[in-house]
Amino acid sequence: MKRISGAFLAILAVAAVGASTAALADNPVGFYVGAGSGYSSIRSDDSAYGLPGYFNDRQWAWKGIVGIRPISPIGIEAEYIDFGQPGHHNGYYDVNFFGKDSHPRAGALFAVGYLPLPLPFLDVYGKAGVARLTTTVNTLVSNCDPATQDCTGVVPSVYRHDQTDTKFAYGAGVQSRFLFGLALRAEYERISSSFGDPDAVTVSATWTF
C-alpha cells in the first residue's frame, strides 16, 4: 500500500511539472490573474476635529491580482485591495455624541521573490513594493444638550477627510500549484499609513494562462 501511495504521489508530481512546462511554453512571461478575500485589521489613530479617534477593527477584505513570473525566483505583481469599512465607533466627548470610521483601499505594485524549494507544486514567497493608499475618514458629530447630553432631534454633522498617499507595502505568503495553471495561496499584506497601518490575511485563487 505504501508503494502504491508513493507511486501515486510521484505520478502527480510528474504531471504537475509537465503541466507547468506546457503552460510556460504557451505563456513565456508567466502571466496570471486572480482574486481573493479574507479579514483585515483597520486602525485609526486620527484625532481630526479635536475628537478622540483611535480604534482597531476587523473587517472583510477583498482584492484582485494581476502578475507575471518570467523566471522561477522572481515575479512582479499588481493588485487592488479594499480593506473594508468599519461601522461608526460611537461615544461621548465633552457634551458631543460622535462616531468615526475609516475606509482604506489601495492599488499596489510588488516585486515578488520566491524561495528555491525543490518542490514543483509549492511556493513560499515574500513581496515588497509601493501602494497608492486612499483613506476616507468620516466623523459624525451631534451637538447634544449640555445639561442632559440628550441628542434627541439633533441633526448630526458629518465631516469627511480623504487622503491619498504613496506608501511602502510588504507581505509574505505560501501557494500550492495544481494542474491547468490553477494555484491557491494564503498571504499576509500590510501598508504603512499615518492613520494606522491597514493589513489583511487573505486566501486567493490565481490562474496562469
- What is the per-residue pLDDT across 133-142, written as a single tens digit (0 to 9) for each? 998 877 766 6
Q: Which residues contact 114 (CB under 8 A, 6 or more apart)?
A: 69, 72, 73, 74, 75, 123, 124, 125
Instruction: Quote the cell numbers at residue 39.
Output: 479579514
Q: Whole-angstrom Cα distance, residue 106 to residue 83?
A: 8
Q: Which domains does the chain have, with CATH numbers?
A: 2-208 (2.40.160.20)
Query: Average of pLDDT values for 65-92?
Result: 85
pLDDT at 196: 77
| Residue 173 or 12, more confident | 173
Side chain identity at residue 11, one-letter code: I
pLDDT interval class at 123 (50, 70, 90) = very high
pTM of the model: 0.73
Q: Identify the sign of the CA torsion 162, 166, 172, 178.
A: positive
On whether the CB atoms of residues 32 and 67 are closer than 8 A, the answer is yes
Checking DSSP bridges between strand 122-143 and strand 157-177, what pairing results, if any? antiparallel
pLDDT interval class at 59 (50, 70, 90) = confident
Q: Please say if the pLDDT value at position 83 is more than 70.
A: yes
Query: Average of pLDDT values for 87-99?
Result: 47
